[in-house]
Each structure stands twice: as structure tokens, then as C-alpha cells.
A and B are shown apart, each in its own frame.
Chain A
């Protein structure tokens, strides 16, 4: 099965900073990758699908890129409300594995 590895596992950044989270697949998955945001005690929220397509209603400071095995989620200007855990998920074929998650905090 294809493994999904996210890095870093946690990060602390200042408001306004550019933040980058990486997700690497152990084999190519084309662009079948989604990114979720999960705030404490809340349901995961879809941010991006097809690696780079922004879900409706998601702020434009979020962006995704990549194809094949290497993917990136970027927050262009970190805001206090972006404190959350972020997960990638592959969905090219079963199993639809998640990455282990990245916790984002404000410095």
C-alpha cells in the first residue's frame, strides 16, 4: 500500500508568516490528493482537492501544489484562526490513506 508522509509534524509561526506543509506519497498518485483542516473538537474541513483546487468558501491564502509523489499546502499569511491540525489524504485508489498530520500553532 502507498504510504503518505507529512512534514513537519508540528510547527510554530508568527501571524503573517508564510507556512508550508509537505506531503509525500511512497508511489505516484497523480493529483488525487486532498488537504483537510481540523480545529480542536471539530470535524475535519476540506480545504483543497485534486492537489490544487480550492474548495468553495476556503480563504485564498490557502493553496496546494504538486503531482505524482510530492505535494505542498501553503498558507500565504498565517492568521490566528488557522491554528489547527492539517492532514493530507490520497484517493487515487484504496486505501484512501491519510498523512499523520501537522499541528500548526502561533508563535
Chain B
């Protein structure tokens, strides 16, 4: 059964870079037909699509975040990662990783605060 698990710091200082990793188990990123993506949800608000990556490394990003976002993949570790630079309090959210539209991780809360 496919499972995704986010990991990374729960607290990031303003102006620094948020870094999260999603570890995939029960399936392989390499050669998959699916996109592997990131979504976030600020407390009490709706869902925001951040971007996704294909196993070959091709990426697409939300235009509103594109200048600050990098998504990468490490097929040898069966992981993909998110980096969001120059964070502010507005980037405080639960961050989810997902495969396509079907399978999501449990989410991890990242708070931006000094």
C-alpha cells in the first residue's frame, strides 16, 4: 500500500528557507506515471497547490510561489523535496505531499516565527 510521509523542521525563521522531504513507501517514484506534488493549508484556510515534479525531473509550480519554490526528486532514495525561500508568517501552514490526485501524506505543520 502506497504511503507518503513528510519530514522536516516544524519551525523556520522569517527570511530563511523552508525545506521538507517526502518519503514514499509501498511504491516507486522512478518510472511512475504520476506527478509527485506539494500542497499547503494555512490554519483555518483552504488548500493551495504549490507544485509537482515528474520522475524525470520536470516540474510545474504555482505562479504565485514560483520565484521562491524548488521541488526536486531523488529516485535513489524514493524521496522528493520542497524548498521555499524567503519565508514569512504567511507561509505558516500544514504542508502535504501527494501522488497525483489520489494519495496524500499525513501533513506536517510548519510555523514561520522568530
Q: With a CB–CB cut-off of 8 A, which chain B residues contact A34?
A: 101
How far apart are A11's CB and chain B's nearest CB, in angstroms? Answer: 16
A98 touches B46 (CB 8 A): yes
How far apart are A94's CB and chain B's nearest CB, in angstroms? Answer: 3
| Binding stretch for chain B, among A12-20, A41-49, A59-67, A70-78 | A41-49
Number of interface residues of A (CB under 8 A): 21
A43-B96, A43-B107 known; A98+B101 contact, CB < 8 A = no
In Å, the complex CA distance between A1 and B62 comes to 10
B102 touches A89 (CB 8 A): no
In Å, the complex CA distance between A34 and B105 comes to 17
A44-B47, A100-B46, A101-B47 known; A95+B102 contact, CB < 8 A = no
B106 touches A95 (CB 8 A): no
